[in-house]
């Protein structure tokens, strides 16, 4: 399904992307949807070619796996934007583009005479998406910023960490501050393209990483906006105004699982009883009696009764403990499958690389092989976020070498 | 006033929670006509957020869920009882007027209601159908149930957050409900762009877990290329930076209750500025390799400076020295006291039929020509029955009275 080679949804759309840490993921997603993305680097290559990890841990501009991942499916050209002749080439290249994507510091491109304001008169249909830490005009627009500070200033960090508040709050891994901004940059480009279908006009879009993080915190913002209440971080669960109980268990093979919501219906209790019996764990679980009581419930347990009604409290507590007890006695994968097959929503806490071997991802064709003909090898990359049979999302080819497609520029001259 | 960006698009929308409702929220902000179809019998509570906290006051019930309002601003709401033949007939008439049908039910639910993709195509041959659930509609886990934390666990995101030798801290909220919605919006708009060019509809099968797994690319390549798993001794250590390597890079104690400061050295210039400001003079820290080799001691030196300082005053000093730094913002800091979110208009006030004036999340992009508008709160149950069933489908007020009496709407 994911492997079909039909053109993508954005086939025929050209995106000119100025290489940047924050916008690289946006360009990757647009290229995956079929846009022709040309990433523009300085002559020696963009500095993110110096980012770890490296092929065989050896640094080198063509060996950065960071660059490989974020620039797959793109073509690459080099231009020295400090040089007037190259700026002319950039102007010509922009003249062929539907979308410009850039994450330059506010003011830099205006100083060089190659910003949207300067170029829009000649290209009224051009869509220009700018992705900057704080947007282009706010009072903090010139602050120094990286993924870590985006997530700290924007809210996500406050909600992530441990019950013990002597431990610093945590930044989730994987450049999620940059990527969240990039996701909104993609939505912006698509929205502007759909608007252009109707009006024929392009426009400028100002995307802010800080704003993107701020509106991506679920309860933390809404709880404050609506009720003036502050959520507090908790180990492995939602930050909340009132503390909640555990959802984590360590399985028999040392891998953590998320145990989900405890059983609350007679059907759920019956599933847990049957599961415990089939595993031969019934006799080792002292509160089994309360699970059996739960199988006779006529109405689902209500959370408001927990702590009030002694029987409900006992059943609810036993159910939660029973699920944890099962997890501790079997492997994480068996727990995940065993619970889900019984209609209980739980999760296995995979490390990123473990995802690729899971049957779900395998059957959906998620891991994809990308040919590196220059190395005579191919490598497995992460694939498509969704399956679109008529306009597939694809990782089309490896990231470009420095200046690999400079012939595109020659053709403009 | 409405945005004109997507005003030519109409969607028959069954989404709920955040992972689905977030998708059509974006489109509604840009002027798309999003028609939420809800079940009058269960008072729309398939979307549990209709009746859950936070609340603006002491009132409770299906019109008072604060998150529901936040996630459904600028949408229209109608009720249809799909257990009835007439309800199904009305839905078919509505779908015939729409560009897309969107839902994030458990896999197979819409089909059981009689509106699987084949039926949708019968009604409208070029319809775009976008389904979204935790594991999608294809694959061995299609019947499995998820919500944000389960998706985050299964795609690798939970594992990436935390300290060595500790359980994962994970994400303290449903990060993937936000991005489930965002990637779904991406899928819908990609499908609409394809349709506008080719005239072709399709069924796009979106899986939140797959979307989440696309967000961890470099870590995956470190394994598939170099054979180095993230599950290994000393990892993850998510306040530090491995890709790219930086040191210092962390979240440090500041003066005050639960007060923290994030800062990092991107390069040697940043490091010189930090060392100068903090008075750190230790030749072990002379270059990045040395700082990485002695990162615990380096962090102690940084902490000695930060821990006696107010997080925002320290941020200002570091920023003045050209160093990326930020106080860890509490909700009050960023919602009420940040001049940048205020200048952006990031917390617009909408008007909800029962809750009144409520602030909501804004949109993190401003468009020069067709910017977003968020003024109308989430729809009350059946609030727009007359506008849609009457105005769009042509039923008279008398018809609507009968439909209500028959339990159809």
Statement to judge: residues A370 and A315 lie in one domain: no
Burial of A284 (0-12, 13-18, 19+ CB in 10 A): exposed
Do A276 and A324 sit in the same domain of this protein?
Answer: yes
> Which of A158, A346, A352 lies at the smallest CB-CB distance from B328?
A158
> Is residue A240 in some structural domain?
no
Same domain, A193 and A107: yes
**Whether residues A55 and A173 fall in one domain:** yes
* Arithmetic mean of pLDDT, B376-400: 98
Record: contact B204-A162, CB cut-off 8 A: no
Judge whether A49 lies within some domain.
yes
Q: How far apart are CA A128 and CA A189, in angstroms?
A: 8
- Interface size A-B, in CB pairs within 8 Å, comes to 526
Which residue in chain A has the smallest CA separation from B237?
A173
Domain of residue A28: give its range: 14-217+363-412
Chain A contact for B200 (CB, 8 A cutoff): yes
Amino acid A5: pLDDT = 84
Nearest to B370 by CA among B19, B32, B69, B17: B32
Last residue of a domain, one of A321, A348, A375: A348
- In this prediction, residue A413 carries a pLDDT of 73
In chain B, residues under CATH classification 3.30.1540.10 are 260-327
Does A340 reside within a domain?
yes
Query: Nearest CA to CA, how far is B275 from chain A (Å)?
Result: 17
pLDDT computed for residue A1 by the predictor: 40
- Containing B130, the helix (H) or strand (E) segment is strand B128-133
In a domain, A355, yes or no: no
User: Of A315, A348, A381, which residue sits at a domain end?
Assistant: A348
- Examine the domain organization and report whether A24 and A162 are in the same domain: yes
Residue B215: name the closest of A26, A176, A172 by CA: A176
CB within 8 Å: A355 and B135: no
Residue A166 domain-assigned (yes or no)? yes
Q: What was the pLDDT predicted at A306?
A: 85
Q: Are residues A195 and A172 in the same domain?
A: yes
Comparing CB atoms, the residue among B147, B193, B214 nearest residue A10 is B193
Is the pLDDT reported for residue B265 higher than 60? Answer: yes
* Residues 6+ positions from A5 with CB-CB distance below 8 Å: A392, A394
Residue A359, CB half-sphere, CA atoms under 13 Å: how many?
Answer: 8
Q: CATH second-level architecture of B10-213+342-405?
A: 3-Layer(aba) Sandwich (3.40)
Q: Are residues A153 and A33 in the same domain?
A: yes
On whether the CB atoms of residues A184 and B182 are closer than 8 A, the answer is yes
Q: Say if A83 falls within a structural domain.
A: yes
> What mean pLDDT do residues B10-30 have?
98
A-facing residues of B in 141-160 (CB < 8 A) are: 141, 143-160
Are residues A144 and A60 part of one domain?
yes
CA distance B110 to B14: 9
Whether B297 has its CB under 8 Å from any CB of chain A: the answer is: no
Task: Say which CATH number the domain at A27 has.
Answer: 3.40.50.10540
Q: Which residues contact B220 (CB under 8 A, 6 or more apart)?
A: A69, A352, A353, A355, A356, A380, A381, A382, B156, B213
Q: Pairing between strand A248-250 and A256-258?
A: antiparallel
Tell me, yes or no, whether A320 and A374 share the same domain.
no
**A173 to chain B, closest Cα gap in Å:** 5
In a domain, residue A324? The reply is yes
Q: Does A389 lie in the same domain as A279?
A: no
Residues A201, A71 within the same domain: yes
Q: Is B64 on the interface with A (CB under 8 A)?
A: no
Residues of chain B with CATH 3.40.50.10540: 10-213+342-405
Structure tokens at A216: 């991506």
List per-residue pLDDT tens for chain A, 413 residues long. Answer: 445 689 999 999 999 999 999 999 999 999 999 999 999 999 999 999 999 999 999 999 999 999 999 999 999 999 999 999 999 999 999 999 999 999 999 999 999 999 999 999 999 999 999 999 999 999 999 999 999 999 999 999 999 999 999 999 999 999 999 999 999 999 999 999 999 999 999 999 999 999 999 999 999 999 999 999 999 999 999 999 999 988 999 999 999 999 998 899 999 999 999 999 999 999 999 999 999 999 999 999 888 888 889 999 999 999 999 999 999 999 999 999 999 999 999 999 999 999 999 999 999 999 999 999 999 999 999 999 999 999 999 999 999 999 999 999 999 87
Q: How many CA atoms lie less than 13 Å away from A332 in the CB half-sphere? A: 19
Determine the longest span between alpha carbons in chain A, in angstroms.
Answer: 82
Instruction: Give the predicted TM-score (pTM) of the model.
Output: 0.98
B274 touches chain A (CB under 8 A): no
Nearest-angstrom CA–CA distance, B69 and A226: 10
pLDDT at B336 over 50: yes
Same domain membership, residue A377 and residue A329: no
- pLDDT tens across B181-195, in order? 999 999 999 999 999
Residue count (chain B): 409
CA distance A373 to B323: 41
Q: Is residue A7 part of a domain?
A: no
Contact yes or no for B230 and A135 at CB 8 A? no
Please report the ipTM that was assigned to this predicted complex: 0.98
A123 touches chain B (CB under 8 A): no
Residue bearing the bigger pLDDT, B83 or A246: B83
Over residues B95-144, the pLDDT tens digits come to 999 999 999 999 999 999 999 999 999 999 999 999 999 999 999 999 99
Three state DSSP letters for B22-54: HHHHHHHHCCCEEEEEECCCCCCCCCHHHHCCC
Question: What is the total count of domains within chain A?
Answer: 2
Q: Report whether CATH 3.30.1540.10 matches the domain B260-327.
A: yes
CB B201, CB B121: distance < 8 Å: yes
End-to-end Cα spacing for chain A: 41
């Amino acid at each position: 399904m994911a492997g079909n080679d039909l053109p993508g949804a954005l086939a025929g759309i050209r995106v000119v992307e100025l290489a940047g840490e924050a916008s690289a993921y946006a360009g990757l997603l647009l290229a995956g949807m079929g846009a022709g993305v040309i990433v523009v680097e300085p002559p020696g290559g963009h500095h993110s070619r110096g980012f770890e990890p490296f092929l065989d841990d050896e640094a080198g501009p063509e060996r950065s796996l960071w660059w490989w991942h974020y620039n797959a499916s793109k073509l690459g050209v080099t231009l020295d934007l400090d040089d007037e002749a190259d700026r002319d080439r950039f102007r010509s290249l922009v003249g062929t583009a539907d979308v410009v994507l850039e994450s330059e510091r506010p003011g830099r491109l205006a100083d060089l005479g190659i910003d949207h304001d300067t170029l829009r008169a000649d290209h009224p249909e051009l869509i220009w998406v700018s992705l900057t830490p704080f947007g282009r005009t706010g009072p903090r627009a010139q602050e120094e910023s990286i993924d870590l500070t985006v997530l700290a200033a924007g809210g996500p960090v406050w909600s992530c960490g441990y019950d013990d508040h002597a431990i610093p709050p945590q930044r989730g891994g994987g450049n999620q501050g940059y990527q969240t901004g990039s996701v909104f940059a993609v939505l912006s480009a698509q929205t502007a393209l759909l608007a252009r279908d109707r009006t024929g006009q392009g426009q400028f879009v100002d995307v802010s990483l800080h704003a993107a993080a701020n509106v991506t915190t679920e309860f933390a913002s809404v709880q404050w906006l609506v009720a003036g209440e502050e959520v507090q971080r908790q180990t492995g669960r939602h930050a909340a105004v009132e503390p909640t109980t555990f959802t984590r268990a360590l399985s028999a093979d040392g891998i953590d699982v998320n145990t989900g919501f405890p059983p609350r219906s007679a059907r759920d209790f019956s599933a847990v009883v049957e599961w415990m019996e089939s595993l031969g764990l019934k006799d080792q679980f002292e509160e089994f009696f309360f699970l059996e009581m739960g199988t006779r419930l006529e109405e689902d347990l209500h959370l408001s009764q927990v702590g009030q009604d002694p029987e409900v409290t006992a059943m609810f507590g036993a159910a939660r403990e029973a699920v944890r007890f099962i997890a501790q006695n079997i492997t994480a994968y068996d727990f995940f499958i065993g619970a889900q097959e019984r209609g209980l929503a739980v999760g296995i806490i995979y490390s990123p690389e473990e995802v690729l071997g899971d049957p779900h991802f395998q059957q959906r064709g998620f891991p994809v092989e990308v040919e590196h003909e220059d190395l005579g090898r191919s490598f497995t990359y992460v694939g498509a976020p969704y399956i679109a049979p008529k306009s597939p999302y694809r990782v089309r080819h490896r990231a470009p070498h420095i200046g690999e497609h400079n012939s595109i520029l020659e053709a403009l001259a | 006033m409405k945005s004109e960006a997507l005003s030519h698009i109409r969607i028959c929308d069954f989404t709920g929670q955040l992972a689905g409702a977030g998708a059509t929220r974006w489109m509604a902000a840009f002027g798309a006509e999003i028609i939420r179809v809800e079940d009058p019998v269960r008072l729309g509570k398939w979307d549990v957020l209709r009746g859950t906290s936070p609340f603006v006051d002491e009132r409770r019930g299906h019109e008072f869920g604060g998150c529901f309002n936040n996630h459904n601003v600028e949408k229209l709401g109608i009720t249809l009882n799909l257990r009835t033949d007439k309800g199904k007939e009305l839905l078919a008439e509505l779908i015939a007027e729409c560009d897309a049908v969107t839902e994030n039910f458990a896999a197979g639910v819409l089909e059981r209601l009689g509106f699987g993709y084949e039926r949708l195509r019968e009604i409208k041959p070029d319809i775009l159908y976008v389904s979204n659930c935790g594991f999608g509609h294809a694959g061995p886990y299609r019947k499995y149930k998820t919500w944000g934390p389960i998706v985050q666990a299964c795609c690798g995101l939970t594992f990436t957050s935390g300290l060595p030798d500790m359980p994962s801290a994970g994400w303290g909220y449903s990060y993937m409900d936000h991005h489930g919605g965002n990637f779904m919006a991406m899928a819908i708009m990609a499908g609409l762009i394809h349709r506008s060019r080719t005239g072709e509809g399709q069924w796009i099968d979106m899986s939140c877990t797959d979307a989440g797994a696309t967000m961890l690319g470099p870590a995956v390549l470190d394994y598939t290329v170099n054979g180095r798993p993230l599950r290994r001794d000393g990892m993850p250590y998510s306040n530090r930076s491995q890709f790219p390597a930086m040191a210092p890079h962390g979240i440090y104690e500041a003066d005050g209750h639960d007060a923290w400061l994030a800062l990092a050295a991107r390069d040697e210039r940043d490091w010189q500025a930090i060392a100068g400001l903090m008075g750190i003079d230790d030749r072990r820290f002379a270059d990045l390799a040395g700082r990485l080799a002695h990162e615990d001691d380096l962090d102690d030196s940084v902490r000695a400076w930060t821990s006696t300082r107010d997080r925002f005053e320290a941020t200002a000093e570091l920023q003045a020295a050209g160093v990326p730094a930020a106080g860890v913002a509490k909700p009050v800091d960023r919602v009420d006291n940040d001049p940048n979110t205020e200048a952006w208009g990031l917390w617009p006030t909408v008007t909800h039929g029962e809750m009144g004036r409520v602030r909501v999340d804004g949109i993190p992009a401003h468009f020069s020509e067709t910017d977003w508008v968020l003024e109308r709160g989430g729809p009350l149950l059946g609030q727009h029955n007359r506008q849609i069933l009457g105005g769009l489908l042509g039923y008279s007020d008398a018809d609507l009275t009968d439909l209500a009496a028959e339990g159809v709407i």
